[in-house]
A and B are shown apart, each in its own frame.
Chain A
Amino acid sequence: MSEDQLYFFYDLFQYLINGICQGSIYALIALGYTMVYGIIKLINFAHGEFYMIGAFTGYFCIRGGIPLYFAFPIAMLVPGIIAVLIEKIAYKPIRHAGRIPALITALGVSFFFQYFGQNVLGADPKAFPEVYEETIYNLGEAVSISSTQIIIIVTTLVLMLFLRWLVMSTKVGKAMRATSFNKDASELMGIDTDKIISFTFFIGASMAGAAGVLVGIYYNTVEPMMGLIPGLKAFIAAVLGGIGIIPGAVLGGLVLGVVENLVVGFWESTYRDAVSFGILILILLVKPTGILGTKTKEKV
């Protein structure tokens, strides 16, 4: 192998690692998207904002001297609680009005948090405090992985397995699956669907909150507008994998993260977002149910 080829592969590996790391973040946010969509067919546009709220909660906790292992659960709890409140105040009253009014409300909630945050916290990016000494491990000549990247990938894996366990092997999970399959029938079977929907919002938003803290540590900055683009990207990831399907969200997130980083590495970084949206449109046209989805038909 010539020198050039060797460096090409080094680059490729490096971008793959960065991509998997970025993709894990997308996957964490996409999990919440996909769960909420699966259960009440709502594209929760405000989901990216729970990620922002998580990041800021982490920021204020760590600046207030709370150690990371306490700050992390708090940063998951706070967005979760806010999500439940939002669901009760804004989404529940219009649940029967159809998908478009719900989508518009979600847009409103999303803008509310962005601009409320901008007015209260200031629009300028804030430096996330350093929580631990960063170590960089070299894998071969020009490929490296940082401890933060390892933490992100491992946390995502753990949370995803936890979610998988929660949905597939617990009573709550069974109720969630039943509600998403047929809400009216599960109500007749004695499932408190309102509670289950709130719980889904809570879990989804706390996943996004976790992603927020991880990104805060990784990029060292937090700002009120940080939720918009990752929120949209996570939606793309959820659609790519098959919206409503939990492993699909993770698969979609990882694919999207890797593709984006390859675009940045081997093409131009300014085209990154355009490529992501292109993927979204392509998947909506070719297979709207996503990679892992199965086809359903609309009934009259």
Chain B
Amino acid sequence: MEYLAHLTLNCGIFIILAVSLNLINGMAGQFSLGHAGFWAIGAYTGAAFSVFSPLPIPDWMNLFIGCGIGGISASIAGILIGIPCLRLRGDYLAIATLGFSEIIRLLIVNMDVVGGPRGFTNIPKWANLGWVYLWVVITILFISNLMKGTHGRAIISIREDEIAAESIGINTFKYKLMAFVIGSGFAGVAGALFAYSQQFIHPNGFNFLWSVIILLMIILGGLGSITGAVIGAVILTLLPEVLRLMGETISQWRMVIYSLLLIMLMLWRPQGLFGKKELNLSALLGRKKS
């Protein structure tokens, strides 16, 4: 039971990460490979708040303040990184964000206050299943509502054709930055929740590998689909556990399976499971959207 609860909680955290990365990569079409960096910032600032200066108020209020701090500091980092990087396009942007996330990780390794290479310990366990899933709901509602409005349309238009979007008067830089900052902010929230549920964080837990795994989640689900991101996150969080049940040897080959999955998806189904479609009640009932 304990194990299942832990797994469900991890699913929730990865859903937040995948949905927020999906806003940047899938909706705005800005290919970021540095999501783990923002995740790390959120985790470390959230953890630092909980260890060094928790307020004398109930834990759940502290949790929300901690998540807020994690989210805000990750979005500030998103602004600082986004302003220079979002001038770049496509593969260059991918490498620049990858570079920044590695720099963030290396800076944390060199920061002794938060444990440096030994990791950050003694973080209070504030998060439980309920709070994590409350944040999951907040994230999904926020991003899906954003996408329905003017701002969301503008963000999607950048993905479809940036030059055309610019020519009809959309301030593409502003909307790219908006998507980037909101996405990194929610990654920060996920980081804080991660710290409050694991109680121990280590810089190597936020390396490049994790950026790729989160990316794989949204590619599997379908770039540009929130439902796809959720399902991709659930599948890839549960898959290692399923593989573990199948035996030690198969579990060892987990990353090989992931990489083959990534290649095969690109070769045969580049749009992922859902493509850009959303799965919702009206679609299930077969009603057409007007």
Instruction: Give the B-binding residues of A (Cβ under 8 A).
Output: 43, 90, 93-94, 97, 99-101, 103-105, 107-112, 114-116, 118-119, 228, 232, 235-236, 239, 268, 270-271, 273-274, 277-278, 280-281, 284-285, 288, 298, 300
- B96: chain A residues at CB < 8 Å are 280-281, 284
**Contact (A119, B100) CB under 8 Å given A94-B266, A104-B262, A271-B106:** no
Q: Are B95 and A235 in contact (CB under 8 A)?
A: yes
- Of the candidates B31, B106, B262, the one whose C-beta lies within 8 Å of that of A273 is B106
Q: Are A112 and B263 in contact (CB under 8 A)?
A: yes
Tell me, yes or no, whether B128 is within 8 Å of chain A by CB.
Answer: no
Tell me, yes or no, whether B270 is within 8 Å of chain A by CB.
Answer: yes
**Contact (A277, B103) CB under 8 Å given A112-B263, A116-B256, A285-B84:** yes
- Of the candidates A108, A119, A236, the one whose C-beta lies within 8 Å of that of B262 is A108
> What is the size category of the interface that chain B forms with chain A?
35 or more
Q: Are A284 and B92 in contact (CB under 8 A)?
A: yes
**Contact (A284, B252) CB under 8 Å given A274-B102, A277-B103:** no
**Contact (A111, B255) CB under 8 Å given A105-B262, A277-B103:** yes
Instruction: Give the A-binding residues of B (Cβ under 8 A).
Output: 31, 84-85, 87-92, 94-96, 98-100, 102-103, 106-107, 109-110, 163, 208-209, 212, 215, 219, 252-256, 258-263, 266-267, 270
- Of the candidates A110, A271, A277, the one whose C-beta lies within 8 Å of that of B100 is A277
CA distance A111 to B210 in the complex (A): 12
Helix, strand, loop or mixed for chain A's interface?
helix
Q: List 14 A-B contacts (CB under 8 A).
A: A93-B267, A103-B31, A104-B266, A105-B263, A112-B259, A112-B263, A115-B254, A115-B259, A118-B255, A228-B208, A273-B102, A274-B103, A277-B99, A281-B99
Q: Are B259 and A104 in contact (CB under 8 A)?
A: no
Q: Are A109 and B259 in contact (CB under 8 A)?
A: yes
Q: Are B260 and A274 in contact (CB under 8 A)?
A: no
Which partner residue on chain A sits nearest B249 by CB separation?
A119
Which partner residue on chain A sits nearest B99 by CB separation?
A277
- Min CB gap B196→A, angstroms: 28
Q: Are B258 and A105 in contact (CB under 8 A)?
A: no
CA distance A115 to B267 in the complex (A): 20
- Min CB gap A231→B, angstroms: 11
